[in-house]
Structure 1
Amino acid sequence: MSVVKKKKHVSKKNKKAWRKHCDIRDVEDFLEEQRLDERLGKFDTKPDSELFVVDTQGDDDDKAKDIKSETSEKVVKPTSAKERKRQQLSKTPKCYEILIPASKVPDPNAKRNHVNPVGSRPTALSKITEKKREEKGKFEKKVEVARKNRKIALDKKRKAKSIRNNFDLDLWGQDLPEAKGIPETLCDDFIPPGALLHNVLPQQRLRPKPPPPKTIVTRSAVDTPHPGISYNPSFKEHQELLQEVVQHEQKMMKREAHLLRVTTGMFSKVTPEQKENQWREEMSVGLPQPHNPANDPSDNETDNEYKAVNPPVKNKKKDHKARRKQKEQLEEKERLKRKKIEKKKISDLYRLRQLQSTISKTETRQAEDRTKRVTKRKIEEATALPALNAHKTPKKEPEYVDPEQLSGDLRTIKSTTNLLRDRFESLQRRGALAASKLMMKKKRKLKSYFKAGHKVTEKDIERYVTRSAGKK
């Protein structure tokens, strides 16, 4: 016996409750079928050829083969590819099949206005520009260029079709190893040309080596040292080297003095007491000062009289005589000023020749300086180091040997410079190596701690205390 469920009575006051508790599946199915009929068409309107298929094969395989052979005899196949292509012209290409509407739903707006695409209709501005181009003759020029290009293409075709009378070209010569830069000594039938080309020396390869930079070519290979550095120099050469070293040291001292003057020397030195007093005065600005009886005004000064802080100012006007004197002073001052200007004009007239000569001298001097700068810049550009990195090349400082250390024998002389460092800096100065910067790592100060324990003796404590005191 089937149990009949009691029907629930639910409030359908709101739209949300109506949707939740109403069964509308039958309406949705009906609408879905209607949309499907609109897309694919109704069965009543479709012909029988679209709905039904006639089975001509049957159940047996032999019958199917016979039917296939009969149908194949009836179908006339195209004889050539040209006819096949012509038959395919009427069909729509596969790339445009996606654009064909598959739905049978008609257009809701049957009388739709046709809109021309952008650029199809000429505007007023485009008409003006085309007219200007036609007046300038740009279209004629374009036609001439196209005609020339067609002529060049035709000439190329004719040359390609022309029969060669000379048959000295070796078609397989380009694939030979000798043509790729591999010498005959390395040629072998069992080794591929890629491996042969890999083993060829760089000088024998087909690709030319690029020339070295101009800066390295124009510079001397190694700078010759000063003859005064020799272990047995002459007196004159030694004195010349000494003068160079003195000039270099004076220059460095002057630079150090300048840096000291513009950094530390700019600030005045103050003693600790003055600094303390200055700080106290700055910090106590605006604070109430302590009472000092010495600063109190005396009884004689006050004398029980009232004195205002800002006494009234009397409006004492000048008389006619004072005003006349003031006016005469101003006129005399202006007259002297005018007289001085006139005198300077006359003196400038007499100094015209001198001014002209000084101007010509300055112009000639400036022209000479300009030529010197240009020549110097050209020499520097020709002999400049290549910018291999951001660091600057180290400047060579003059070497000097004290006369007391000089000796005429190589056995007793002591070397003052490091040969490896000197050659390394020489390579950097000549641009063969990139300039490097000396990086010094700071040693970290490690703090030591004393770990107390039951195994620590008094000797260990004394040893730790002495070690820490020695470090300090």
Structure 2
Amino acid sequence: MASKGRLRKKSRFSKKSKKAWRITDIKDVEDFYEDQLLEERLGGPFSEKPDEELFFIQKDPKEEPDVTEKQKVRRSTRQEKKKRALEPPKCFMILENTSKVPDPISKRNTVRTKEERKSNIQKDIEEKLRKRGVLKRKEILAAKNRLLNKKRAAKKNDPYNFSKDVWENEIRDEAKTEWLDGDTVRHYVTNTGKLEVKTPKSIQKKPSALPNIENPHPGVSYNPAPNDHNHLLQIVADKELKLIKEEKHLDRVTSAKFSKITREEAMNNWLAEMSQGLINDDDGNNENEEDTDEYKPVNPPALLKRKPLKKKKKAKLLRQEEFEKQKQRVEKKKIADLYKLRFMEREILRGEEKSAVLQEKRKINKVEGLTKTKKLGPKKFSEPLPEFKRPHELKKNLRSLNPEGSILTDRFYSLQKRNIIEPRVRARQKKAKVKKFFKAGHKLDDLEKL
């Protein structure tokens, strides 16, 4: 038995397998290497760095030259701005390598440019050709472009250069001036091909003056005032009565006009109508007719009789008398119109008053037409009934209130009302007529007998 005061002997075991290696404590080694890597990232160990990098000398402010505080601020701000302008943007700071660890691969393969790949012999040949004046096509084009740019710059600066086109600028800027007529601008624009296609007025203007979202009736609120709610119920009741009246009118002028009859009576009436003209009742009259073989034309030719000379002269005199009478009537009417000038003035004034009234009516109709719904399709727009609740359905809070209506249906009817889409009705699918029959293998003898 080992005593308590004595140290425990370190156990020894075999380190032959990997399992035994895990038991060893290597934390001190890992800490050493982590410290070493941190020092490398920061620029090497502090023990090897010179004193100038680790410390700085504090200067006495009295030794500095006499400069005012404003000048110090100005100089500092100017210098900082200049330094910032030279520095790269801060957004690229993430891409920079902050580690001080040197690159393990110092020598890397670099891709040489086309000029670097040329041999010295080729470079000498090209230099000799250039001195003689033999240039490549690219170099010739570049030289030409340089000359053209110089000439253009000289022309721009030359005050006596009259080669500039007066109509080079677009006419749209000059069209705003007062001295240009609208016809002149239109003529120039059409002939130079700069005419802009105008958008139609139907696209520029709204199809309706109604607002996109109309304020609902105050009676629709979940907690409305009694008067507002009663007014809303009155509107709904009036619309319902109007619809009932229309239905009664249609029933009165259509189905009420026809009397109900049995199937036998309808069949007898149909037979009577279909047998009209089949049975000949005039058999006795046909016997009395005489059968003659003589041909009689339907339209016998008229005999041309020559008009006597006396009748011709008489007709000529009548025509002359009629012409003279017509002439006298025209002259009388002219004299009568002179006396009618006073009445004509009154008629003109009345006509002007009527036209003024009509113009005012047209203006009013035009203003009202902006808010009216047009008939864009075969079906007429009918405004739906407003959402409402009966007095006993109103609740004290929103939580217990059942919602009415839908936002999508409200927007759908709003688009129809504002003439954006034509009034539509939901298309209902027709049910296919199913033909029932017994298959040959499913027939039974009892069913065949029946």
Q: Provide TM-score, normalisation by structure 1.
A: 0.32
